[in-house]
């Protein structure tokens, strides 16, 4: 019997819950799932950047993880040294500052991403396909070193400005913790995902993006300003990476100059898992990767998580290069 994909997904998720509760015990399992969802939502913001850019110019934007890193560095500088927000800051002021930081960081990384596109990728639009990839790798090293110059080689930490209270204890649940950071992650990422989806599906510019992704030459002939569309794609990707940076620093309270590599790797794997170029796929892949990270860290060993993620990435690329939802671009890769 053939089922619709959504049904299959729900069934798989339900089976996973039953399996998880039996194997790991309910409290451990649900706690890990909470962490997995929080990780996954942050990955989703970064993964969307990879997938948007790949969808439109077929470039693995290697520097994207480092744009995210610079976003988290900027957020660290603003929240830590500049505004000196602590857990005792009045709640209204706290919300105001967080929103301001979010706006500033998103603007900053968006502008950065657009300039990277202009400097490193645009001149290579007609070069062999791997030239921009190599250029992106170079750019990634440049950005990492900018981060190193900005913040030095060590970890940079801020106070946990949300405190450590458990939301669920209000409902009388004590075994599983959902703290305010995790709620904050959802409060920032989910609206952004909805806005992006709305933008790409309904606006004129979103239509231009989809047209360019299908065929830049034809889109150009139909009156789409291809260069502008590509720049806007990088702008959106950069803004999302900046948001992810802010969320990351407020969730983990720490950042470091090479954090972009690990996050970039996970997010790129997520994008590939979902079917690169596919927006819903990227979010789905990111949630799966968030789960895999959380479960591997908790029940296996954090030392092996990176190897596991890379193993998954290789397996997908080799055996199912279109990913989970990647029917849309069967002729790519």
Residues of this chain that interact with other proteins (CB under 8 A) are 58-60, 119-120, 123-124, 126-135, 137-142, 144-146, 148-149, 261, 265, 268, 272, 301, 303-304, 306-307, 310-311, 313-314, 317-318, 321, 333
* φ, ψ at 179 (rounded to 5°): -100, 175
DSSP codes of every residue in 274-300: H-TT-HHHHHHHHHHHHHHHHHIIIII
- Strands in the chain per DSSP E: 156-157, 254-255
Helix H or strand E encompassing 315: helix 302-319
User: Residue 179 or 212: which CB sits closer to other proteins?
Assistant: 212
The least distance separating other proteins from the CB of residue 134, rounded to whole angstroms, comes to 5
The least distance separating other proteins from the CB of residue 138, rounded to whole angstroms, comes to 3
User: Residue 87 or 137: which CB sits closer to other proteins?
Assistant: 137
User: Residue 90 or 153: which CB sits closer to other proteins?
Assistant: 153
Cβ partners under 8 Å of residue 250, min gap 6: 75, 79, 98, 158, 161, 162, 181, 184
**HEC secondary structure over 9-56:** HHHHHHHHHHHHHHHHCHHHHHHHHHHHHHHHHHHHHHHHHHHHHHHH
User: Residue 78 or 124: which CB sits closer to other proteins?
Assistant: 124
Q: Which DSSP symbol is given to 177?
A: -
DSSP codes of every residue in 150-163: HH-SS-EE---TT-
The least distance separating other proteins from the CB of residue 254, rounded to whole angstroms, comes to 21
User: Residue 169 or 301: which CB sits closer to other proteins?
Assistant: 301
The least distance separating other proteins from the CB of residue 286, rounded to whole angstroms, comes to 17
C-alpha 75/C-alpha 158 separation (Å) is: 10
User: Residue 128 or 223: which CB sits closer to other proteins?
Assistant: 128
Are residues 19 and 207 in contact, defined by beta-carbon separation less than 8 angstroms? no
* C-alpha to C-alpha distances, 193 to 11, 122, 171, 188, nearest whole angstrom: 24, 27, 28, 9
The whole-angstrom distance between residue 136's C-alpha and the CA centroid of its chain comes to 18
User: Residue 141 or 198: which CB sits closer to other proteins?
Assistant: 141
User: Residue 255 or 269: which CB sits closer to other proteins?
Assistant: 269
- Strands in 123-253 per DSSP E: 156-157
């Amino acid at each position: 019997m053939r089922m619709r994909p959504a049904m299959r997904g729900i069934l798989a998720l339900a089976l996973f819950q039953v399996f998880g509760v039996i194997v790991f015990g309910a409290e451990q399992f649900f706690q890990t799932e909470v962490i997995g969802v929080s990780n996954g939502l942050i990955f989703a913001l970064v993964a969307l950047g990879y997938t948007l850019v790949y969808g439109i110019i077929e470039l693995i934007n290697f520097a994207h993880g480092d744009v995210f890193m610079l976003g988290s560095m900027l957020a660290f500088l603003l929240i830590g040294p500049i505004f000196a927000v602590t857990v005792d800051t009045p709640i209204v002021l706290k919300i105001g500052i967080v929103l301001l930081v979010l706006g500033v960081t998103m603007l900053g990384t968006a502008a950065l991403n657009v300039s990277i596109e202009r400097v490193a990728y645009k001149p290579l639009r007609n070069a062999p396909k791997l030239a921009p990839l190599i250029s992106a790798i170079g750019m990634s090293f440049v950005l990492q070193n900018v981060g190193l110059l900005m913040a030095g080689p060590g970890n940079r930490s801020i106070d946990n400005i949300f405190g450590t209270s458990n939301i669920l204890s209000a409902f009388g649940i004590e075994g599983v913790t959902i703290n305010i950071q995790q709620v904050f992650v959802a409060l920032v990422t989910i609206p952004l995902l909805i806005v992006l989806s709305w933008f790409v599906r309904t606006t004129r510019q979103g239509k231009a993006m989809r047209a360019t992704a299908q065929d830049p030459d034809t889109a150009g002939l139909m009156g789409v300003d291809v260069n502008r569309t590509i720049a806007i794609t990088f702008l959106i990707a950069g803004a999302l990476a900046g948001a992810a940076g802010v969320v990351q620093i407020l969730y983990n309270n720490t950042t470091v100059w090479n954090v972009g590599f690990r996050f970039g790797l996970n997010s790129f794997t997520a994008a590939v898992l979902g079917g690169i170029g596919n927006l819903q796929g990227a979010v789905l892949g990111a949630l799966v990767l968030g789960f895999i990270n959380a479960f591997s860290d908790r029940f296996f060993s954090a030392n092996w998580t990176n190897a596991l993620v890379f193993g998954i990435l290789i397996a997908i690329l080799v055996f199912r290069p279109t990913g989970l939802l990647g029917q849309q671009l069967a002729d790519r890769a």
